[in-house]
């Protein structure tokens, strides 16, 4: 366990706050003004007794608190409290958060390069962004940032913590990392202007291609279509494709729809359901398919969240791809940004999304068809706590039966047994050792075990095809 005065292990629950300066870990951020449907929604009368208690509490604080605080600040705290009590992804945004949100959707910003959320007062690293300062320094998904420049995170407002991690390119910031099984340690990072191309591609072998999506941004759909078309034009016959969504924290819903649309010719892709009419929508294939028959394997892991899970779930339900890796994060909710003023808004969870078969993956995740763990150069096992949506304090329940929600086929108990077995024999690694031996998705093929296995599966599919066709031709 982590031994640090600012770390409280307790239960594996956490209160997440949305990434404020690097990326948007949500199924979709929908900017909206109040509509007629919202304004006419049935509402119950406000409870007078509770309102009276609120005004009394406000009056006591104004008169008796040790330091004078202006009314605007107190009321903003009240809004923050209401939203933080709902679920891990609803939040109040003010001031520089709008600028941060714009940065994350355009793909250019200054910072460290980590997708972050809030856990029990600390900053939880959901995933480091490929090639960023944090990624190069060995920051891992599941790490807790407990101090910034020797200042405890728990004593800061979320905005202040985000602001401290941002800064002028070339300037440095020190963060203290808490990682299970190790003493807290410091990492000094140099801030950079991070311009992200969310899609990268390369040939693995003749006939077999690799596409990596690091995050779903506003232009990811166009980038993906361009990269895929170039791969198809360069190869006379593309025998197989690996789509890597590992450590992809999600992003823009419409971008994930575009990616699925490239592989299926018809049918539903995703639907959203909420209380208001405006929060109910569905997305279907548009007949703009680029590669409808190319054998496809999708790689996911614990860091694959939100929009990544939409892609994996849709392709799995359509039988269009084999999903390989480990269980995904399990974030199946959609947030809507509702402006309150010129520089203030609330980000409110307004709906859940559902895969084509009607599955909700909220707090459940996508279970891969073929489970493949990350590989190590050494025999020592990974000793890093993995956090999922279901671990977060106040997470929304799935609402479906467990078996139907978690997998198109499979048994949850079997997975529990497998998880228990995988934890046996774990040993602790230092930060330096772990950074050196844990293999990322961008290393050479021979050193990336899940990617290597995905390639082997594609080769197996191609080897089986002629046999199947021959047998079909011999059938009476």
Confirm if 273 and 280 have CB atoms less than 8 A apart.
yes
Q: d(Cα 267, Cα 284) in Å, to the nearest integer?
A: 6
CA distance 280 to 275: 8
Give yes or no for a contact between 408 and 316, defined as CB atoms under 8 angstroms apart: yes
Helix H or strand E encompassing 69: none
Buried b (16+ CB within 10 A) or exposed e, 28-51: bbbebeeeeebeeeeeeeeeeeee
Contact 173, 112 (CB under 8 A): yes
* Both structure tokens of 97: 């958060």
Task: Tell me how far apart the alpha carbons of residues 334 and 94 are, in angstroms, rounded to a whole number.
Answer: 20
Closest CA relative to residue 338, chosen from 352, 350, 351: 350
User: What is the mean pLDDT of each successive set of 10 residues along the chain, which is 476 residues long?
Assistant: 36 28 34 45 79 96 96 95 93 72 56 80 82 91 92 78 83 93 94 83 95 94 96 90 96 95 98 94 93 97 96 98 97 92 91 97 96 66 59 77 48 40 39 42 63 96 80 65
Q: Compute, in degrees rounded to 10, the torsion defined by CA atoms 254, 259, 262, 266.
A: -60
Q: How many CB atoms lie within 10 A of CB 21?
A: 26
CA distance 366 to 408: 9
* Cα torsion 243, 372, 128, 118: sign: positive
pLDDT of residue 116: 78
d(CA 209, CA 243): 9
First-to-last alpha carbon distance for the chain, in angstroms, is 65
Contact indicator for 185, 204 with CB cutoff of 8 Å: no
Closest residue by Cα to residue 221 from 259, 247, 182: 259
The percent helix, strand, coil of the chain (3-state, each to 5) is 30, 25, 45
pLDDT value of position 381: 44
Indicate the Cα dihedral angle 145, 151, 153, 154, nearest 10°. 140
Please check whether residue 86 is in contact with residue 394, taking contact to mean a CB–CB distance below 8 angstroms: yes
Q: Which of 204, 224, 125, 112 is nearest to 166 (CA)?
A: 112
pLDDT for the residue 305: 95
Spatial separation of the C-alpha atoms in residues 172 and 88, rounded to whole Å: 30
pLDDT at 310: 98
Cβ atoms of residues 260 and 315 within 8 Å: yes
Ordered domains of the chain (ranges, CATH):
197-335+352-465 (3.90.226.10)
- Which residues touch 24 (CB under 8 Å, ≥6 apart)? 18, 101, 104, 105, 250, 251, 252
DSSP code at position 195: E
The residue behind tokens 């892709």 is 269
Q: For residues 215 and 93, what is the distance between their CA atoms, to the nearest angstrom?
A: 22
Supply the residues annotated as catalytic.
306, 317, 331
Task: Give the Å distances, CA to CA, from 313 to 100, 118, 194.
Answer: 29, 26, 30
């Amino acid at each position: 366990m982590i031994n640090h005065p600012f770390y409280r292990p307790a239960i594996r629950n956490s209160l997440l706050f949305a990434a404020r300066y690097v990326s948007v870990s949500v199924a979709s951020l929908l900017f909206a003004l109040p509509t007629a449907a919202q304004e006419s929604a049935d509402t119950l009368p406000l409870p007078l007794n509770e309102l009276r208690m609120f005004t009394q509490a406000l009056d006591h604080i104004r008169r008796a608190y040790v330091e004078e605080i202006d009314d605007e600040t107190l009321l903003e705290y009240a809004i923050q409290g209401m939203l933080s009590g709902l679920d891990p992804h609803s939040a109040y945004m003010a001031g520089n958060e709008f600028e941060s949100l714009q940065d994350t959707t355009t793909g250019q910003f200054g910072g460290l390069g980590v997708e972050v959320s809030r856990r029990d007062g600390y900053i939880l690293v959901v995933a480091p962004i490929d090639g960023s300062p944090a990624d190069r320094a060995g920051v891992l998904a599941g790490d807790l940032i407990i101090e910034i420049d020797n200042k405890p995170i728990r004593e800061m407002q979320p905005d202040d913590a985000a602001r401290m991690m941002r800064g002028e390119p070339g300037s440095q910031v020190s963060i203290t990392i808490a990682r299970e099984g190790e003493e807290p340690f410091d990492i000094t990072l140099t801030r950079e202007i991070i311009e992200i191309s969310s899609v990268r591609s390369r040939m693995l072998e003749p006939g077999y291609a690799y596409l990596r999506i690091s995050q779903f941004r506003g232009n990811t759909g166009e980038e993906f279509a361009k990269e895929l078309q170039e791969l198809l034009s360069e190869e006379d016959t593309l025998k197989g494709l690996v789509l890597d969504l590992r450590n992809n924290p999600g992003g823009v819903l419409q971008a994930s729809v575009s990616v699925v649309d490239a592989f299926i010719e018809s049918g539903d892709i995703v639907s959203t359901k909420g209380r208001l009419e405006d929060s109910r929508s569905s997305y279907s294939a548009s007949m703009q398919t680029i590669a409808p028959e190319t054998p496809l394997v999708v790689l996911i892991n614990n860091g694959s969240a939100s929009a990544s899970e939409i892609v994996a779930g849709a392709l799995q339900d359509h039988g269009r791809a084999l999903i390989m890796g480990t269980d995904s994060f399990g974030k199946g909710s959609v947030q809507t940004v509702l402006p309150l003023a010129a520089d203030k808004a609330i980000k409110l969870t307004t709906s859940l999304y559902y895969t084509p078969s009607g599955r909700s993956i909220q707090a459940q995740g996508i279970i891969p068809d073929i489970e493949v763990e990350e590989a190590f150069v050494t025999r020592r096992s990974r000793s890093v706590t993995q956090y999922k949506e279901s671990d977060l304090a106040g997470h929304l329940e799935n609402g479906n039966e467990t078996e139907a929600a978690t997998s198109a086929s499979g048994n949850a108990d079997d997975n529990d047994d497998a998880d228990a077995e995988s934890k046996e024999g774990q040993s602790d690694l230092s930060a330096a050792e772990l950074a050196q031996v844990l293999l990322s998705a961008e290393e050479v093929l021979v050193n990336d075990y899940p990617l290597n296995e995905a390639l082997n599966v594609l080769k197996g599919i191609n080897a089986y095809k002629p046999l199947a066709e021959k047998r079909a031709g011999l059938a009476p």
